[in-house]
């Protein structure tokens, strides 16, 4: 398959493991891209791919799509189920529809872009890299994030960034409520420009303005005199 | 884990049989709950008929239950599902009397549901078993909502299976995915108020709570919102009444459920895959957020 540019895989007559093995083999063989057909919202399609390859999902996908991958780029032409891009080490995943709960959990590098809305806990435990949401983000997005950037062009539901350690949240709209231990700060020079460049690169409409949010570090160390804040944090 | 899902048609006429779609949706979430499967069906009742479901985990009790039902009213239709009796009877008396008369037969026999519009069917295993016993696919009414159960807190039997109802109190059935962690506290407080519990399933507290709140004057919608405040734990549940149905999510959105709505229908499921395969491959699906209540009127 060495000289194949694009390999098409039809999921309709294959077990999930078979599809993943075919993708892995294509990556081993140096195939540039794989077109995945008839995804039918199935779970775990394109998981554990550790060599560079480009995946094109023609349809809706289920849970943990592009999970546990390294150096993989992917475009999903449909909606994505829970945990899209789970634990991605490097690469880029673009969802052209909406994403369900826990989009890009524990992202360690690379980028996950959701052009539509994203469900609860988007960017949960974000460790590095960028999560960009074109629409609105659900409840407790950015919960316990440790680094990286979470960019939300629309509005956010309650508990945005709750218990975050480090990293940045860029919010274009309004949050129903900011989570515990989060403060709004002024952007540093060039930070906003970098975000806008990123949006432009992906042909995403930037909101009129962005608020920058980060950890106020109040939850970093336990302080018994501040018990109320801790009770509230959980 | 459990899976919840089903189909609601906005009008009487529709392109695909309700029961067949419900079958495919529930089959698609079989792996979320292989222990037992149950459905709530809605009927446009224009007569005196009462839809009765009876748990009798000792299958040999079926004949006695049917005999008792025939004494209480005239049976129009009945199926002995070997563990669960489904019957449609003409009955005009008080529903509580009927429940008491059936349960007097044996402590192991309990009434799962009585309804003027709602009928509850349950069977062990997947939806194929339920269909083989009760012919789900033949149902062509407006609403079929069900649950595939992965038992975590009570026995794997007919009695503890879902859907669960508040029995004699009205047409109300719930299908719950999740767990209620303050169940024991809630159950004892409702038991003190005189509510009877027939299962060991934590989900049973939900219909009782809704009935209790509504008897205190709350509207159905208010009762659903109160349940989000009062219930502790993770839950997504579907509640069906004689004139509407609702999807309720806890304040953490910890249990999945997606919705697809067209001009013709509303379809719900714990898993988008079961909607894509069960209803339409290319529909817009969305996931309700934390602490949300969505109600659709019949």
Closest CA to B257 of B142, B154, B178, B179: B178
Is 60 exceeded by the pLDDT of residue A234?
Answer: no
Give the nearest chain B residue to A100 (CA atoms): B287
Domain ranges (residues) in chain A: 98-221
pLDDT per position as a tens digit, B228-250: 999 999 999 999 999 999 999 99
Report in angstroms the alpha-carbon separations of B59 from A172, B83, B160, B279: 62, 5, 15, 35
Cα gap B173→B239, rounded to integer Å: 6
Is 90 exceeded by the pLDDT of residue B92?
Answer: no
A139–B286 CB contact, under 8 Å: no
Q: Which residues of A are less than 8 Å from B5 in CB distance? A: none
> Closest approach of chain A CAs to the CA of B75, in angstroms?
44
Cβ neighbours around A107 below 10 Å, total: 28
Q: Which residues of B are less than 8 Å from A119 in CB distance? A: 253, 287, 289
Is 80 exceeded by the pLDDT of residue A2?
Answer: no
Q: Enumerate residues 67 to 126 of chain B having a beta carbon within 8 A of any beta carbon in chain A.
A: none
A123, two tokens: 């960017």
Residue A137 contacts B, CB cutoff 8 Å: no
Considering CB atoms only, which of A40, A42, A157 is closest to B289?
A: A157
Instruction: Mean pLDDT check: name the lowest of B13-17, B37-41, B100-104, B162-166.
Output: B13-17
B290–A157 CB contact, under 8 Å: yes
Is 70 exceeded by the pLDDT of residue A129?
Answer: yes
Cα gap B55→B46, rounded to integer Å: 26
B287–A139 CB contact, under 8 Å: no
Residue B277 contacts A, CB cutoff 8 Å: yes
pTM above 0.95?
A: no
How many angstroms from the chain centroid is the CA of residue B245? 11
Average pLDDT value for chain A: 94
pLDDT value at residue A199: 97
Q: B31 phi and psi, to 5 degrees?
A: -70, -15
> Closest approach of chain A CAs to the CA of B185, in angstroms?
22
Is 70 exceeded by the pLDDT of residue A113?
Answer: yes
Report in angstroms the alpha-carbon separations of A130 from A107, A229, B251: 8, 29, 27
pLDDT value at residue B287: 86
Considering CB atoms only, which of A81, A98, A138 is closest to B290?
A: A138
Average pLDDT value for chain B: 94
Give, for B95, the enclosing helix (H) or strand (E): helix B95-103
The distance in angstroms from the start CA to the end CA of chain A is 53
pLDDT value at residue B1: 79
Task: State the average pLDDT over residues A119-139.
Answer: 97
A40–B289 CB contact, under 8 Å: no
B195-217 burial: b if 16+ Cβ within 10 Å, else e = beebbebbbbbbbbbbbbbbeee
A120–B289 CB contact, under 8 Å: yes
Is 70 exceeded by the pLDDT of residue B169?
Answer: no
Q: Which residues of B are less than 8 Å from A62 in CB distance? A: 271-273
A98–B286 CB contact, under 8 Å: yes
A40–B277 CB contact, under 8 Å: yes
The distance in angstroms from the start CA to the end CA of chain B is 29
Domains of chain B and CATH, by start: 3-44+125-297 (3.60.20.10), 46-116 (3.30.70.100)
């Amino acid at each position: 398959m060495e000289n194949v540019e694009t390999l098409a895989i039809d999921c309709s007559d294959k077990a999930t493991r078979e599809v993943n093995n075919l993708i892995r083999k294509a990556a081993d063989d140096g195939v540039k891209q794989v077109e995945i057909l008839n995804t039918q919202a199935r779970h775990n399609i394109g998981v554990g791919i550790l060599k560079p390859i480009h995946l094109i999902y023609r349809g809706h996908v289920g849970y943990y799509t592009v999970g546990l991958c390294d150096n993989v780029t992917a475009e999903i032409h449909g909606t994505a189920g829970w945990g899209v891009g789970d634990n991605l080490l490097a690469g880029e995943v673009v969802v052209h529809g909406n994403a369900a709960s826990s989009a890009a959990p524990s992202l360690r590098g690379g980028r996950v872009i959701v052009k539509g809305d994203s469900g609860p806990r988007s960017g949960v435990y974000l460790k590095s890299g960028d999560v960009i949401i074109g629409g609105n983000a659900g409840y407790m997005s950015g919960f316990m994030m440790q680094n990286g950037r979470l960019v939300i062009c629309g509005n956010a539901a309650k508990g945005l960034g709750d218990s975050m350690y480090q990293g940045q949240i860029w919010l274009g709209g309004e949050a129903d409520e900011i989570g515990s231990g989060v403060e709004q700060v002024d952007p540093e020079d060039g930070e906003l420009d970098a975000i806008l460049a990123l949006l432009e690169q992906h042909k995403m409409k930037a909101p009129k303005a962005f608020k920058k949010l980060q950890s106020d570090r109040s939850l970093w160390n336990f302080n018994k005199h501040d018990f109320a804040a801790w009770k509230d944090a959980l | 884990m459990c899976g919840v899902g089903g189909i609601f048609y906005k009008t009487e006429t529709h392109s695909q049989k309700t029961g067949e779609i419900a079958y495919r949706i529930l089959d698609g979430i079989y792996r979320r709950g292989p222990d037992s499967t149950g459905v709530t069906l809605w009927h446009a009742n224009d007569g005196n008929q009462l839809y009765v479901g009876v748990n009798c985990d000792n299958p040999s009790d079926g004949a006695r239950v049917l005999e008792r039902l025939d004494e209480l009213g005239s049976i129009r239709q009945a199926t002995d599902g070997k563990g669960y009796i489904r019957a449609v009877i003409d009955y005009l008396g008080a529903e509580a009397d009927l429940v008491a008369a059936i349960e007097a037969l044996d402590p192991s026999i309990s009434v799962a549901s009585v309804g003027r519009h709602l009928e509850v069917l349950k069977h062990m295993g997947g939806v194929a078993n339920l269909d083989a016993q009760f012919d789900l696919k033949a149902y062509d009414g407006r609403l079929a909502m069900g649950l595939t159960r992965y038992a975590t807190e009570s026995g794997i039997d007919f009695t503890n299976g879902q859907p669960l109802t508040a029995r004699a109190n009205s047409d109300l059935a719930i299908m719950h995915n999740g767990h209620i962690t303050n169940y024991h506290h809630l159950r004892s407080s409702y038991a003190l108020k005189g509510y009877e519990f027939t299962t060991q399933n934590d989900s049973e507290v939900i219909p009782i709570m809704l009935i209790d709140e509504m008897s205190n004057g709350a509207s159905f919608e208010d009762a659903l919102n109160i349940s989000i405040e009062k219930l502790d734990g993770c839950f997504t549940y579907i509640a069906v009444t004689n004139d509407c149905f609702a999807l309720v999510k806890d304040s953490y959105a910890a249990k999945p459920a997606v919705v697809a709505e067209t001009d013709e229908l509303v379809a719900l499921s714990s898993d988008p895959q079961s909607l894509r395969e069960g209803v339409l491959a290319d529909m817009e699906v969305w996931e309700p957020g934390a602490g949300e209540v969505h109600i659709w009127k019949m």
